[in-house]
Amino acid sequence: MQVTSLSLEAFKEMDYWAVEKYNLSIELMMENAGLQLARLIAKKANESSVITIGVGNGNNGGGGLVAARRLAAWGFNVNLDLVVPITKDLPKAQLERALLFGAKEGIPETTDIWVDAYLGFSQRLPLSDAFVKSIALANASSAFRISLDIPVGISKDGELLGFKANQVMTLAAPKTILEKLPNEVEVFMADLGIPKSVYEHFNIKMPNFKEHQLIAL
C-alpha cells in the first residue's frame, strides 16, 4: 500500500537517494525550491509590496535566498533578516548572489509579506534567542506569513509554536508533521525535480508535477 505522507526522517532519506543515485545536487534542488517559492510570494505581492525573507545558516535559508534573488530580479523590494552569520558554503554563495541582485540586509520598518526560510527540517527545539526574537517580530507584524518547507518552531505534533504561517510551501512530498496544521493554513507542495522512480522506491505517489510545479494540498 502506498503511504500518503512522509516523516521528516523518511523524507531526508528520499532526498539523500536523489542526490546519491541521480546526482541531483542540493544546489539544483534549491534552485527549483527557490523559484517556486518566489512564484508563490509574487502571487501575493504587488509592485509596492515590501517583502522580508528570514534566513538561517542552512539549506532552508539557501532556498529563501534563491527566492530573494528571483524576486529582486523581477523588480520586487526584497529585504533579508539575517538572524545568524551565514557561514556555510551554499547559503553563503546564495547570499552573495541575492545581494548582487539588489536584495537588502535588515528588517524594514513595515513588511507586507514575511517569509520564513529561517530553518527547515534540521531545526531542533528549543530555538536560540536570535530566532525567537525574529519570529516574535514577524508574528506581531500585520504581514502575510509564508514558510518554506516546515514552519520554524513547529512542534512534533504540528503545532505552530513559532512562526505563525498563513501559507506553507513544502518541498517534493507531503510531510506527516504538516497534517495537523490548523485548517486555515494553506499548504502547497513544490516540485524539486526528483524522479518518479525515487517516489516509487519510497512507496509514495508522485504528485502530479508533470502538469503543475506548485500544487495546493
Ligand X SMILES: NC(=O)C1=CN([C@@H]2O[C@H](COP(=O)(O)OP(=O)(O)OC[C@H]3O[C@@H](n4cnc5c(N)ncnc54)[C@H](OP(=O)(O)O)[C@@H]3O)[C@@H](O)[C@H]2O)[C@@H](O)CC1
Q: Which entry of K ion, ligand X, none binds 207, CB below 5 to 8 A by partner kind?
A: none
User: Are residues 119 and 152 in contact, defined by beta-carbon separation less than 8 angstroms?
Assistant: yes
The Cα–Cα gap between 181 and 98 comes to 31
> What angle, 0 to 180 degrees and rounded to 10, lies between the N-to-C axes of helices 89-100 and 26-44?
40
Cβ neighbour number for residue 21 with a 10 Å cutoff: 12
The Cα–Cα gap between 166 and 153 comes to 14
Least distance in Å: CB of 27 to ligand X? Answer: 8
Q: Is 106 exposed, middle or buried (0-12, 13-18, 19+ CB in 10 A)?
A: exposed
Report which of 146, 155, 160, 157 is spatially closest to residue 188, judged by C-alpha positions: 146
Least distance in Å: CB of 178 to K ion? Answer: 12
Least distance in Å: CB of 73 to ligand X? Answer: 18
**Cβ distance to ligand X smaller for residue 133 or 205:** 133
Residue 121 labeled ligand binder: yes
Least distance in Å: CB of 34 to ligand X? Answer: 7
Least distance in Å: CB of 59 to ligand X? Answer: 3
The Cα–Cα gap between 7 and 177 comes to 7
Cα torsion 217, 209, 206, 27: sign? negative
Q: Which of residues 138-157 bind K ion (CB under 5 A)?
A: 147-148, 152
- Residues forming contacts to ligand X in the complex (CB under 6 A) are 15, 26, 29-30, 33, 56-63, 119-124, 127-128, 131, 148-150, 171, 192
**Cβ distance to K ion smaller for residue 86 or 152:** 152
Residue 120 labeled ligand binder: yes
**Cβ distance to K ion smaller for residue 22 or 162:** 162
116 binds K ion (CB under 5 A): yes
**Cβ distance to ligand X smaller for residue 57 or 77:** 57
**Cβ distance to ligand X smaller for residue 49 or 147:** 147
Contacts of 10 (CB under 8 A, 6+ apart): 202
Q: Which entry of ligand X, K ion, none binds 116, CB below 5 to 8 A by partner kind?
A: K ion
The Cα–Cα gap between 33 and 27 comes to 10
Residue 124 labeled ligand binder: yes
The binding site consists of 59-63, 116, 120-126, 149
> Which residues contribute to the site for K ion (CB under 5 A)?
116, 120, 147-148, 152
